[in-house]
Amino acid sequence: MGNPATACGHYDWRAAGLRYYSYNHFLRHKFGGRVQKVSIDARFTCPNVDGTVAVGGCTFCDNRSFSPSRRIKRQEIADQIDEGIRQLRRRYHRVERFIAYFQPATNTYAPVERLRAVYEEALAHEAIIGMAIGTRPDCVPDDVLDLLGEIAGRTYLSIEYGMQTMHDRSLDWMNRGHHHDAFVDAMARSRGRGFEICAHVMLGLPGETRECMRETAREVARLELDAVKIHNLYAVRNTPLAEQVDRGEVTLMERDDYLGAVADFLELLPPTTLVERISGDAPPDYFIGPAWCLDKPAVRLALDAELQRRDTRQGKCYLAPQVATCSAPDTA
């Protein structure tokens, strides 16, 4: 795994009566109190936007809807952190520690010298106690991974890779610009570098059945990732997906179907895998649907109820990878 001591350690979340290993619980245990992420926009782009591998970006993507930092006037990184902290403290009055979250676009898609400068600027802020970086698996050359490993030696670091699904046909549908083999390669080269390895996974993609989603869960388990972020396919304005939904070509998952798929997914994960998110949403002025995912507390409560109804929890159906053995043939 990326960094078992950082990501999972020997902490038994089940003893706390949880149904899955939630990220908030992990952060409280690791840092001794509430920790919040502050979104930072370093104005990176993506290789499927600038024409390197594709044009137009992912079919579901408008970065302004995914990140609060991309919805404000451009600011220096330190100013973004200050403003983000002010907003978070209005909501969470006693939070004092923050993770710098490079969120929109592909945040390793630049020369190492530029990456080092923006990362170090964020880490220099007195309230920042760690960093999370969202990126793509086809945008982590070895020199970038070397830099990330160096930073992980000094602070908590999570690298969030956009896996989305293990199924290449779905990656083609979303105009991703790479296939699953790129993710597998990135995971192999990321191991042992001291940072947490997190995968973004999307449920409810067109043409994917519940079994397809379970196959992705089994692949996450097989790769022994430190963490996963799970969210539903939802539509925001000014995207190809929004047009497909409007034309009736794509149907977005209903809440009960989604909760069942998430419960399936959690059952297949190792108990040591952090679950950093179980649903997604967007600001109302960008959002099209499905409406149910705007109420994230209700989704969390409904998922807990579904897991309780099933009398299940994360890892219940997990099968650890088998270690192959070889015995010499009996030649007597």
Reported as a single tens digit per residue, the pLDDT across 96-113 is 899 999 999 999 999 999
Within-domain flag for 330: no
Within-domain flag for 300: yes
Q: How far apart are CA 234 and CA 230, in angstroms?
A: 12
Within-domain flag for 24: yes
Within-domain flag for 173: yes
Q: How far apart are CA 71 and CA 41, in angstroms?
A: 10
Which 3 state secondary structure label does DSSP give 279? coil
Within-domain flag for 13: yes
Structure token digits, residue 43: 């104005």
Within-domain flag for 176: yes
Within-domain flag for 216: yes
What pLDDT, on the 0 to 100 scale, is given for residue 323?
54
What pLDDT, on the 0 to 100 scale, is given for residue 329?
43
Which burial class, exposed, middle or buried, applies to 266 when counting CB atoms under 10 A from its CB (0-12, 13-18, 19+)?
buried
**Confidence tier at 5 by pLDDT (50, 70, 90):** very low
Within-domain flag for 188: yes
Beta strands in 233-326 (DSSP E): 235-236, 274-277, 287-289
What are the phi and psi torsion angles at 301 (to 5°)? -65, -40
Average pLDDT over residues 32-46: 93
**What is the distance, to the nearest Å, from the Cα of residue 246 to the centroid of all Cα atoms in its chain?**
27
What pLDDT, on the 0 to 100 scale, is given for residue 54?
87
**DSSP-H helix ranges across 63-107:** 63-66, 77-91
- Token match 């089940």: residue? 14
Give the total number of structural domains in the chain: 1
Average pLDDT, the chain: 90
What pLDDT, on the 0 to 100 scale, is given for residue 6?
41
Average pLDDT over residues 202-212: 97
Q: Is the pLDDT of residue 316 over 80?
A: yes
Q: Which domain holds residue 173?
A: 4-310
Q: Is the pLDDT of residue 94 over 60?
A: yes
What pLDDT, on the 0 to 100 scale, is given for residue 4?
36
Q: Which CATH number fits the domain that encloses residue 35?
A: 3.20.20
